[in-house]
Amino acid sequence: MLEKYLEEKGYKLRVEGDRKIVDMNDYSFYIIGGNKCVFPIPLPTGKESLDDLVNMGIQYARASRLVQSLGSPVSYSVEGSSVLVIKEFKDEKELENKLIDAMDKIESLRYFV
């Protein structure tokens, strides 16, 4: 279901080891174990160019809108120069349904703006 939805939207789903990576062209996040979404948000290091900072802002906006649409609770961890926002679901079906709904919401907002 998720793979078909992503294809229709022009996004890609690829598998790398135990991760399913969702590539939304300007932002990527991953799914682990079928019931956990991990949304990386880059942290500035002070060495970024202006273009890098703009790209980081886009990634932050995508991640925050997705997480906001998915709702709480979420957990956080820091890995290198990224904050990982982690949202767990009871099963893969719930993950797919809520993720598709969240992605629809951010796409409709994008076209509204």
The predicted structure's pLDDT at residue 26: 87
End-to-end CA distance of the chain: 28
Predicted TM-score (pTM) of the model is 0.89
Residues ≥6 apart with Cβ < 8 Å to 4: none
Residue 36 sits at φ, ψ, to 5 deg, of: -135, 125
The predicted structure's pLDDT at residue 108: 54
The predicted structure's pLDDT at residue 107: 67
| β-strands 36-42, 82-88 pairing | antiparallel
H or E stretch at 63: helix 50-70
pLDDT digits (tens, 9 = 90+) for 87-110: 999 999 999 999 999 998 886 544
Beta carbons of 109 and 14 less than 8 angstroms apart: no
106 burial via Cβ count (<10 Å: 0-12, 13-18, 19+): middle
41 alpha carbon, distance to own chain's centre: 9
- pLDDT exceeds cutoff 50 at 111: no
pLDDT digits (tens, 9 = 90+) for 31-74: 999 999 999 999 999 999 999 999 999 999 999 999 999 999 99
Question: What does the alpha-carbon distance between residue 25 and residue 44 come to, in Å, rounded to a whole number?
Answer: 21
The predicted structure's pLDDT at residue 105: 86
- pLDDT exceeds cutoff 60 at 22: yes
Residue ranges per structural domain of the chain: 32-112
